[in-house]
Amino acid sequence: MIQKAYGFALSDNRNIEKLVDDDQLMINHMVLPEGEGLPEHYSNSNVYMIVIRGIMTLKLDEQEPNLYTRGQIINIPFNTKMNVNNFNKEVLEFFVIKAPNPKNYRGI
């Protein structure tokens, strides 16, 4: 087979899983129930977040938090301070694509 298929969890429980980690990119899948979030951190590549369901509260650098919903893609530049949270009842599910893979990022 030429192609490679990847699976991801289909649960409402908190889950952070690395799906793809190759030279070109990294893809993570995240599920955050109500009240859950990620630790504050800085983006380590060009980041794209694709919201699958729920409402993401995203605070970047010193900006006010913004809300993003299902069907939206958010692009976050390299070295941006990030706070990602789910403050809503519905489970938040999203994919994170980092391109290039942080291990190969050279601040292009």
Tens digits of residue pLDDT in 44-74: 999 999 999 999 999 999 999 999 999 999 9
Tokens of 56: 């993401």
**Banded model confidence at residue 105, pLDDT cuts 50, 70, 90:** confident
32: nearest Cα among 81, 89, 79, 97: 89
Q: What is the pLDDT of residue 108?
A: 52
pTM exceeds cut of 0.85 = yes
What is the CATH superfamily name and number for domain 15-104?
Answer: Jelly Rolls (2.60.120.10)
> pLDDT by residue (tens digit) across 4-42?
999 999 999 999 999 999 989 999 999 999 999 999 999
Rounded to whole angstroms, the Cα distance separating 7 from 95 reads: 13
Contact 17, 26 (CB under 8 A): no
CB atoms within 10 A of CB 84: 25
Rounded to whole angstroms, the Cα distance separating 28 from 18 reads: 4
Tokens of 91: 């489970």
